[in-house]
Amino acid sequence: MEIYKQIWDEIKKADNILLIAHINPDGDALGSELSLYPILKRMGKKVTVFNATKPLPEYLDFLPNFDKVTNKLPKKTDLTISFDCGSFDRLGLEEKPSFLINIDHHISNTNYGDINLIEPNHASTSQVIYDILKANNIDIPADTAVCIYTALVTDTGSFQYESVNDKVFECAADLVRCGVKPDFVSKMLFQRDRLSRLRLLAKAYETIEMCCEGKVAFVEVTKEMMEITGAIKDDTDTIVNSVRALAPVEVACMLREDDEGIKISLRSKNYADVSKIAQKHGGGGHIRAAGATIKGEFDFEKVKEMLKKDLKEIV
């Protein structure tokens, strides 16, 4: 496709390249922004991998060149490429870059770049990068392959989501040929759990409340639970997913108390569009995964009652 070639032409022209992704990066954001680093270095470019968030999530520290990610912007940039970021404000940049390529797979992307490559049917932004490399006959070194593969694993819930199709597996298979060891990535992602996280899960699971004939489940995380267990914010990431895994549940909702108010994370299984509910409360996301913050509200029961009314409509 023309745009895949056009993007590579811009990369070839530029000397100083800035790779960025959204704040509070997940596996796809960080994997994507790190994936081009070895290739661009090999081409002789000056490359900065930027993320506004510090510290970065520890569970991704095995990604090649993780230690190259900086929260300081370089003096000179000819080309900025953003990854996995639906809107400009989530990049954590103060000024618009001189030339920006926006590569993403969120259908809600606001096309804030000078070139925008948005592929909503791709399972991860890293899969879009893979296609760009293939379209331009670029060899994929192992360091790049690990980043693309990790992003694919994390954004598909280990190849479980509706976004997973033949192309995803073909991409994964090719990345293994390029040097990825799937068991290494799995061990790094899923076999380095923290005791504080398990202790937090135990406390949070005590609060599970089912309603709407079991189709909706709520789970709560209070500041007190975090303090007692020594858990960090990253430790709360997957709680809502495991609550969704309950047999009758269509929508799982986690309520987490923080300084601003109550953060809600919504996950659905088969049919409910939770992005609508998140949007109603000033947040956003995908159909199956979305979130919002109810600012200035610290009453769990009140928020639950409000959400129950919304959720009744969609389950």
Residues that bind Mn ion (CB under 5 A): 28, 84, 125, 155
Tell me how far apart the alpha carbons of residues 235 and 195 are, in angstroms, rounded to a whole number: 10
Please say which residue, 197 or 286, places its beta carbon nearer to Mn ion: 286
Residue with smaller CB distance to Mn ion, 103 or 226: 103
Compute the distance between CA of residue 220 and CA of residue 124 in angstroms, rounded to an integer. 29
Min. distance of Cβ 311 from Mn ion in angstroms? 25
Closer residue to Mn ion in complex, CB, 84/257: 84
* Nearer to Mn ion among residue 128 and residue 311 (C-beta): 128
Q: Are strands 289-295 and 261-268 parallel, antiparallel or unpaired?
A: antiparallel
Q: How far is the CB of 27 from Mn ion (least distance, A)?
A: 8
Angstrom distance (rounded) from CA 78 to CA 106: 26
- Minimal distance in Å, beta carbon 11 to Mn ion? 21
Which sign, positive or negative, has the C-alpha torsion 28, 192, 67, 182? negative
CB 21, min distance to Mn ion, A:
9
Locate 196 and state its tokens: 């504080």
β-strand partners of 209: 218
The Cβ of residue 69 has, within 10 Å, a number of other Cβ atoms equal to: 23
Please give the Cα distance from 48 to 50 (Å, whole number): 6
Distance in Å, CB of 153 to Mn ion, minimum: 12
Cβ proximity to Mn ion: between 171 and 262 the closer is 171
Which residue has the CB atom at the shortest distance from Mn ion?
28
